[in-house]
């Protein structure tokens, strides 16, 4: 694991609070909007930037599922969660640490907030498309693909994929 990725994983582990994640999933969107900055709403998820927590102070995001495809107990959600487990087992430098949180009424994904766009990536990652192609090959090797445009952000010089909503089995 490269040093930047290791640091990101360590900071995530120090900042992630499972009890808080479960508490956030129980809040409705209006309450989340009143407390946190909503970054966007997509087909499957709404995303909020959370306040830094833990002694490392890493800013995280909550991606809260919505819609019938990702409703608790749905076949689609079960398949997606199974695919996430496969994804988490990969050792790609381009995959961030994340936690899947599921309650009886909601599902969410907690991951680091990437504060910088990909174009601010340092020269040690260039050519970036070579790294991205390797991730796509790694996904295929475990029977996965992302059925969407890959979305990237950067935290402290470490690029990572930020959208797993269209993660599917081959």
C-alpha to C-alpha distance for 42 and 66, rounded to whole angstroms? 9
pLDDT value for 37: 96
126-161 burial, b at 16+ Cβ within 10 Å, e below that, comes to eeeeebbeebeebbeeeebebeeeeebbbbeebbbb
Structure tokens at 8: 């990101």
Give the pLDDT confidence score for residue 122 in this predicted structure: 78
Which pLDDT does position 55 carry in this prediction? 63
**pLDDT score, position 64:** 95
CA 60 – CA 12 distance, rounded (Å): 8
What does the pLDDT read at residue 90? Answer: 94
Peptide bond preceding 86 in cis form (omega within 30 of 0): no
pLDDT of residue 1: 55
Which backbone phi and psi does 107 adopt, to 5 degrees?
-135, 140
The predicted pLDDT at position 69 comes to: 79
What pLDDT score does 56 carry?
A: 61
Provide the pLDDT for residue 145.
97
Are 119 and 68 in contact, with CB atoms under 8 Å apart? no
109 contact partners, CB below 8 Å, separation of at least 6? 45, 62, 63, 65, 84, 98, 99, 100, 101, 164
pLDDT value of position 126: 79
Tell me how far the alpha carbon of residue 46 is from its chain's centroid: 12
Domain extents in the chain: 3-169
Residue linked to tokens 């309450």: 31
Residue 70 confidence (pLDDT): 84
| Tens place of pLDDT per residue across the chain (170 aa) | 588 889 999 999 999 999 999 999 999 999 999 999 999 999 899 999 998 865 667 899 999 998 777 888 889 999 999 999 999 999 899 999 999 999 988 999 999 999 888 888 878 887 899 999 999 999 999 999 999 999 999 998 899 999 999 999 99
Mean pLDDT for the chain overall: 91
- Helix (H) or strand (E) holding 12, with range, is helix 3-15
Q: Which residues, in sequence order, are CB contacts of 57 under 8 Å at separation 6+?
A: 15
- CATH code, 3-169: 3.30.200.20
């Amino acid at each position: 694991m490269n040093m930047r990725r290791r640091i990101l994983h360590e900071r995530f582990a120090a900042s992630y609070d499972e009890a808080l994640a479960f508490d956030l999933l129980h809040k409705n969107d209006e309450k989340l909007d009143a407390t946190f900055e909503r970054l966007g709403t997509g087909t499957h998820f709404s995303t909020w930037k959370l306040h830094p927590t833990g002694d490392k102070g890493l800013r995280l995001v909550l991606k809260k599922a919505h819609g019938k495809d990702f409703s608790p107990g749905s076949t689609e959600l079960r398949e997606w969660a199974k695919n996430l487990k496969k994804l988490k087992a990969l050792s790609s430098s381009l995959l961030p640490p994340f936690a899947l949180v599921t309650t009886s009424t909601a599902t969410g994904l907690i991951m680091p907030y990437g504060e910088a766009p990909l174009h601010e990536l340092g020269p040690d990652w260039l050519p970036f498309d070579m790294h991205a192609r390797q991730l796509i090959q790694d996904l295929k090797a475990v029977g996965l693909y992302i059925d969407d445009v890959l979305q990237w952000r950067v935290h402290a010089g470490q690029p990572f994929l930020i959208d797993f909503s269209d993660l599917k089995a081959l």
